[in-house]
Amino acid sequence: MTATFWKGRAATARLFAFVAAASLSACATASPEAPASTPTPPATSTTASEPLTPVYTAGQATRGQGTFAGVCSTCHSRNEFAGPIFAITWRAEPLSGLYQQISTNMPQDRPGSLTPQQYVDVLAYILQLNGIQPGNQELVADPTTLARMDW
């Protein structure tokens, strides 16, 4: 990989550290009982700190594959998003790390130009490329939920 790659990773790591610190302090101040005004959590949520298994549907991965073919494949081969190097780089972090990287910096010529749904669909496709089995629940474009998903 190139120097730009490492620069990008350092920026991502800093952003991630910031997000992690922000959510830690949020945890510290939150009371154990959720106040009545708390919005209904997504179906995947149980308690705020409990780890979640990554979920996506086969249909979602197919949508993501379409976006990948239409947008990402100009610059990337799908082989870049699975295998040992990819795992060391991205699977050491919860899924939110890769979501942040993609949704903030990609596509490199038009960062942030896709919808959150399109980004999370591509993420579902990447889960599929990494051999994670689909289920009957879609992956949601919610950084807090993604931050609880180790993969």
| C-beta of 21 vs 69, nearer to ligand HEC | 69
Closer residue to ligand HEC, CB minimum distance, 34 or 87: 87
d(C-alpha 148, C-alpha 59), whole Å = 23
> In sequence order, what are the beta bridge partners of 57?
135
User: Which two structure tokens, joined as six digits, stand for 130?
Assistant: 């990494």
Q: Among residues 14, 22, 27, 80, which is the contact residue for ligand HEC, using CB under 6 A?
A: 80
DSSP 42: P
117 interacts with ligand HEC by CB under 6 A: no
Q: Judged by CB under 6 A, does residue 55 bind ligand HEC?
A: no
Task: Identify whether the C-beta of residue 3 lies closer than 8 Å to the C-beta of residue 127.
Answer: no
105 contacts ligand HEC (rule: CB under 6 A): yes
Both structure tokens of 86? 């990819």
Q: What are phi and psi of 140, to 5 degrees?
A: -105, 150
Q: Is 18 in the site for ligand HEC (CB under 6 A)?
A: no
| Cβ neighbours of 60 (radius 10 Å) | 23
Q: Residue 52 gets which letter from DSSP?
A: B
Instruction: Determine if 6 is a binding residue for ligand HEC (CB under 6 A).
Output: no
Least separation in angstroms between residue 78's CB and ligand HEC is 10
Residues in contact with ligand HEC by CB under 6 A are 4-5, 8, 71-72, 74-76, 80, 89, 101-102, 105-109, 114, 122
